[in-house]
Amino acid sequence: MNVGIVGGTGYGAIELMRFLTNHQAVEKMYLYSQSKQGTNISDVYPHLDTIIDVAMEELTVEHVARHVDVLFFATPPAVSHKWVPALLETEVKIIDLSGDFRLADPAVYEAWYNKTTASKAYLNQAVYGLADVYRDKIKDAQLIANPGCYPTATLLGLLPVIDQAFIDRNSIIVDGKTGVSGAGRSLSQGVHYAEMNENTRAYAVGSHKHTPEIERFLSEKTEKSIFINFTPHIVPMTRGILVTMYVNLTEAISEEAIRELYQSFYRDRAFVRVKPGHSLPETKQVYGSNYCDLHITVDERTQRLIIVSVIDNLVKGASGQAIQNMNLLYGLDETEGLNLSPLYP
């Protein structure tokens, strides 16, 4: 299988390369970049010296159609949607790590992204690549909208209970904490080392663009409009997301009963680990890996369910899940190229 990656110099792209160099089914890798054509990837990322020796080239539909089986977009918002319509005319399969095809309605995209995306007809063709939940649909897709980092951690935490009668769907509060790589490779004062180190802040309160993505899939499962509060925070570490979710319970139910419900929901999923009550998850326990660790608490005093979910934002929250989706698309073992232990310590 030959793969192509658009956006060769971002963190999403280099994580894809890390997994693809160890992937048994991958023969050749093409890197596309508008800004760095002709440059070898190891000149941009010296850690890849002697590991990947590929020069970046111009993206054209023709080149992709001729050489590539599956194409990853690891691009900023509002790039992939310009290429996808023409690419869908070819045989190539597309896995889009950007947000362009994650929402159902172009108007909602525009409202949250302040940019435009593809028309509704194209959005409809995309399958949402939350691999541990929607794997059956994913298998037959040509275009996969790979989930955002926060939505992955959040939806894996909420989907098992969202349609249960014992929760209040209007009470959902999602408090996220991300490592700094989530802000990408572009420079800005907010992630300048001297000012980000020893610092924690909330950002985009009430306005983060992952909000409608989370709401869409919660709503779809329940066939009700669900609105959530989502407040992201940035904490001084490179990798990792921890999401804490708060849901009101409408009736008495034991923690154990809910934990069993989660265990059942993810029974044969290789990458979701439902933790026992005494073992609160830590972002470091999934570092560099494709795992999502989940933990639930029932606070009987307040009748609330508290769900904690951790992932590596660049792996399960981006490139790892994209590889998992590629594996599903090609009928490979879901874990191919991904069965690495977390890096600890």
Q: Does residue 200 belong to the site contacting a second copy (CB under 8 A)?
A: yes
Query: Binding residue for a second copy (CB under 8 A) from 39, 282, 330, 332?
Result: 282
CA distances to 8, 127, 173, 225, 266 from 230, in Å: 30, 24, 6, 16, 24
Query: Binding residue for a second copy (CB under 8 A) from 113, 122, 246, 330?
Result: 246
Q: Does residue 205 belong to the site contacting a second copy (CB under 8 A)?
A: yes
Q: Does residue 297 belong to the site contacting a second copy (CB under 8 A)?
A: yes
Which of 18/93 has CB closer to a second copy? 18
Query: Binding residue for a second copy (CB under 8 A) from 115, 306, 330, 332?
Result: 306
Mark the segment that binds a second copy (CB under 8 A) among 54-62, 103-111, 144-152, 176-184: 176-184
Nearest distance in Å: CB 89, a second copy: 34
Q: Using alpha carbons only, how large is the chain's radius of gyration in Å? A: 20
Which spans in 35-79 are helix H? 41-44, 61-67
Query: Binding residue for a second copy (CB under 8 A) from 34, 114, 124, 302?
Result: 302
Mark the segment that binds a second copy (CB under 8 A) among 26-34, 54-62, 138-146, 282-290: 282-290
Mark the segment that binds a second copy (CB under 8 A) among 124-132, 149-157, 216-224, 227-235: 227-235
Mark the segment that binds a second copy (CB under 8 A) among 54-62, 71-79, 119-127, 184-192: 184-192
Nearest distance in Å: CB 255, a second copy: 10
CA neighbor of 133 nearest in space, from 167, 176, 162: 162
Which of 81/273 has CB closer to a second copy? 273
CA dihedral 15, 19, 25, 30 (to 10 degrees): 30
Asked if 321 and 147 count as a contact pair (C-beta separation under 8 A), the reply is yes
| 171-189 CB burial, b ≥16 within 10 A, e <16 | ebebebbbbbbbbeeeeee
Q: Does residue 198 belong to the site contacting a second copy (CB under 8 A)?
A: yes
Q: Does residue 175 belong to the site contacting a second copy (CB under 8 A)?
A: yes
149 is catalytic: yes
Q: Does residue 114 belong to the site contacting a second copy (CB under 8 A)?
A: no
What one-character DSSP code corresponds to residue 65? Answer: H
Which of 129/281 has CB closer to a second copy? 281
CA neighbor of 328 nearest in space, from 155, 141, 156: 141
Q: Does residue 322 belong to the site contacting a second copy (CB under 8 A)?
A: no
3-class SS at 210? coil
What one-character DSSP code corresponds to residue 39? Answer: -
Query: Binding residue for a second copy (CB under 8 A) from 31, 48, 104, 156?
Result: 48
Nearest distance in Å: CB 207, a second copy: 9
Q: Does residue 287 belong to the site contacting a second copy (CB under 8 A)?
A: yes
Q: Beta strands 229-234 and 201-202: pairing type? A: antiparallel
Asked if 241 and 177 count as a contact pair (C-beta separation under 8 A), the reply is yes
* Token couple for 30: 């093409």
- Among residues 149, 214, 243, 296, the one annotated as catalytic is 149
User: How many CA atoms are closer than 13 Å to the CA of 201, on its beta-carbon side?
Assistant: 10
Which of 258/310 has CB closer to a second copy? 310
Q: Does residue 35 belong to the site contacting a second copy (CB under 8 A)?
A: no
Query: Binding residue for a second copy (CB under 8 A) from 121, 136, 193, 268?
Result: 193
| 97-112 CB burial, b ≥16 within 10 A, e <16 | bbbbbbbbebebbeeb
* Token couple for 53: 């020796």
Phi and psi (nearest 5°) for 130?
-80, 90
